[in-house]
Amino acid sequence: MIPLLQVNDLKKHFPLRGGAVKAVDGISFEVRRGETLSIVGESGCGKSTVGRAVLRLLEPSAGQVVLDGQRIDQLAAAKLRPMRRRMQVVFQDPFSSLNPRMRVRDILAEPIRNFGLASSRADLTARVTRLLDTVRLLADAAGRFPHEFSGGQRQRIGIARALAAEPDLIICDEAVSALDVSVKAQIVNLLQDLQAELGLALLFISHDLAIVEHMTHRVAVMYLGRIVEMATSRRIFATPRHPYTYALLSAVPVPEPGHARTRVVLTGDVPSPINPPSGCRFHTRCPFAFERCRTEEPELRAVQPDQSAACHLNDGPDEDNPLLRTKVLA
Ligand code: SF4
């Protein structure tokens, strides 16, 4: 079966006088029906730009975006419209993305009307009521304004608005980052329930690996506009094969005693995406960098059937790979 979303060698460069910010610099991935793929990385790695380029809120500079077998990266507005319905987005800040002057019923009715999904006025009202129920809000929420809700409730409204278009894929762009820990968990649980109920695919963009671990099928780790590691969640959390992934993971608290990770602390700032380092882009911050890393860019290649990484350390035998040796059980 073809994947729901295929992204091939996607680039998004922002021209500058005398150069370009290479926010996304040639990345490929796919999202299958009903799965969650998380894209993680520090702020400025390009992950949010990926989401916007896939949605064509930003025009890609190069590459292909294929939804259900159809290229959408060059579709004209009229043809893009029905494809847009199938991909919806939930942003980080529900307050700024919900019109403060509109009642919730109108916020939810807007996409239903825009995409011509309701057969009658009664159907429209029934759909709004059903959406509120789906995101576990009471029916009386329909008559209220966004400022009357808590942050978590507003994010539920944002999710309901995304669902109103009956999408196949929801892109969650740091959708839980601004929420308190307990509310975050509730929204993540809701997204997981909705995925199971509706068969939705999720592209979950986040800097928060702790959240991702419990909700995602696969993870893509981005650094300076490129994917440096991609694997199933189980594999990447147990045996990361890129030092950057390892450093991100070592910053995540590990709750089970006896399963501590050696800490790999990242030093230095993230280099500029205008002029990324030669060779491996991570070499200026990598504690394992060696001569070859400064001149030769490693390719993203399979190291296991369900894991790919872009690091020269994986070229030799596992016994010599310091990353595999640093994975200690305390
Ligand atoms: Fe570090 Fe070299 Fe691997 Fe890059 S290729 S992550 S610099 S060891």
Q: What is the pLDDT of residue 200?
A: 96
Whether 282 is in the pocket of ligand 1, judged by its Cβ within 6 Å, is yes
Chain segment 205-220, per-residue pLDDT in tens: 998 888 888 889 999 9
Q: What is the pLDDT of residue 199?
A: 93
281 CA → ligand 1 middle, Å: 8
What number does the ligand 1 atom closest to the CA of 283 have?
A: 7
Q: What is the pLDDT of residue 329?
A: 38
Whether 312 is in the pocket of ligand 1, judged by its Cβ within 6 Å, is yes
Q: What is the pLDDT of residue 254?
A: 53
Q: What is the pLDDT of residue 210?
A: 81
257 CA → ligand 1 middle, Å: 30
Chain segment 15-71, per-residue pLDDT in tens: 998 889 999 999 999 999 999 999 999 888 999 999 999 999 999 999 999 999 999
278 CA → ligand 1 middle, Å: 12
Q: What is the pLDDT of residue 87?
A: 96
Whether 289 is in the pocket of ligand 1, judged by its Cβ within 6 Å, is yes
The full 3-state SS of the chain, as one line of letters, equals CCCCEEEEEEEEEEEECCEEEEEEEEEEEEECCCCEEEEECCCCCCHHHHHHHHHCCCCCCEEEEEECCEECCCCCHHHHHHHHHCEEEECCCHHHHCCCCCCHHHHHHHHHHHCCCCCCHHHHHHHHHHHHHHCCCCHHHHHCCHHHCCHHHHHHHHHHHHHHCCCCEEEEECCCCCCCHHHHHHHHHHHHHHHHHHCCEEEEEECCHHHHHCCCCEEEEEECCEEEEEEEHHHHHHCCCCHHHHHHHHCCCCCCCCCCCCCCCCCCCCCCCCCCCCCCCCCCCCCCCCHHHHHCCCCCEEEECCEEECCHHHHCCHHHCHHHHHCCCC
CATH topology of domain 1-86+167-183+190-216: Rossmann fold (3.40.50)
Q: What is the pLDDT of residue 1?
A: 84
Ranges of residues in the chain with a pLDDT under 50 are 255, 257, 328-330
* Structural domain spans, the chain: 1-86+167-183+190-216, 96-166, 241-325
